[in-house]
Amino acid sequence: MLTRDFLKLAGLSIAQRILPPSLLQLWAQAADAQAKGRKVILVTFGGGVRTAETFAPAGLHNIPRLAALRPEGYFYQNCQNQGVLSHFNSTASIVTGNWQRVDDFGFEAPASATIFEHFRKANKAGPLDAWVIATNKSFASMGSSSRRDFGVPFGANVVLPKQLLLDAVKNIVRKPKDSDLSDRDAVHRRLETILQEGYEGVGWTIFKGGRQMDKHVQATLTRALGEFINGPEAPTSGDELTFFITREVMREFAPRLLLVNFWDMDVAHWGSYSLYLQAITRTDRLTGMLWDEVSQNPKYKDNTTVLILPELGRDGDANTANGFLNHRSGDPSCRNTWLLALGAGVAKGATDKPISHVDVAATAAAILNLRADGMTGVAAKEILI
């Protein structure tokens, strides 16, 4: 499996590369105190999902875990995406608190400072205390902005599990036929299936997830992943891979700020409604498992707030027979989503009061006691107790 020693090696390499010695020393002195502070986990239903297939009465059977958790948290039934209806810009708007209009495919970093940068700069937090783990392979630039007064030195570690998996596939292909894999070709086919399951496919640009890691650390992580994918918890989808790596990061580093991007639902672009529904149920299950980890892990239990929302909806069926395929119409089904808040400091209840995606970063800032300077979003005060 993916061992903690390998992750620790990667994290220490990153720390040494992006922090000067003076900040490394400050971080080491403050690490224990930070680990005991409030934590925030942002979970996005990436790829987009409609309320019709989730929290609408007819869709509740697709999300049994979230439906059961809803009474335990605070539910906003009208969370609005008023920005560009693309994946990178939508999630970038969530993490910056400002509507983003940069390149749709992640070639540009967000123009506004992310919540990760605000958090690390204000708290002198180390590079292991803020992470982005994304199934979407175009999210390599999601961890930090292009602002000169913030940027990469204060950004989150970005882990793209599919990139690591792609490297592992290459290693399997290079192995001789008499390698110790029980069925080299079968493993190869299975891993390629995971890579190609979504609309993005292998043919999309795949950004290097470990741009801040040296070659030795990158190779070490890839070897570790090779062990993991042949173990008893071997993933069968990209989102399952994302979950397992997220859980390992939580157990080893206990970061105070974490974005988890699930993505399997974007299979809807292929036009299969049944696969889209299966992906929703899988994401619901994995989100529930993530909540179980928060509830049981002593480093997270009782001090963590989890904010769960779709990055966008999908088109409605009013003007097309298969509206679920895309997410560019701008109709209410595409823009109006939901948000569920769970955990520490969250009141129980529900409201139809509109909030927006840019309010998420401002809410996270309030939970972490940060000043949200420069954010157009406002904190969702209803959940803060």
Across the chain, mean pLDDT equals 81
Domain that holds residue 353: 4-383
**pLDDT > 80? residue 111:** yes
Within the chain, where are the H helices? 4-18, 21-35, 64-69, 87-96, 115-123, 161-174, 184-196, 215-228, 238-253, 273-296, 332-335, 359-367
How far apart, in whole angstroms, are the C-alpha atoms of residue 190 and residue 72? 38
Q: Which residue has the higher pLDDT, 270 or 306?
A: 306
Look at residue 105 in the predicted model and tell me its pLDDT. 82
pLDDT for the residue numbered 16: 46
Q: What is the pLDDT of residues 159-201, one digit of tens each?
A: 887 776 666 666 655 555 555 545 556 655 666 666 555 544 4
For 74, the enclosing helix (H) or strand (E) is strand 74-80
User: What is the number of structural domains in the chain?
Assistant: 1
Which residues are CB-neighbours of 247 under 8 A, at least 6 positions away? 289, 290, 293
Mean pLDDT of the region 346-367: 96
**CATH number of the domain to which 219 belongs:** 3.40.720.10
Closest CA to 346 of 313, 308, 299: 308
pLDDT category of residue 322 using cuts at 50, 70 and 90: confident
Tens of pLDDT, residues 218-227: 555 555 566 6
The tens digit of pLDDT for each residue in 75-90 reads 999 999 999 999 999 9
**Comparison of pLDDT for 348 and 28, the residue scoring more:** 348
User: Out of 163-172, 311-320, 358-367, which region has the weakest mean confidence (pLDDT)?
Assistant: 163-172
238 or 288, greater pLDDT:
288
Mean pLDDT of 273-280: 95
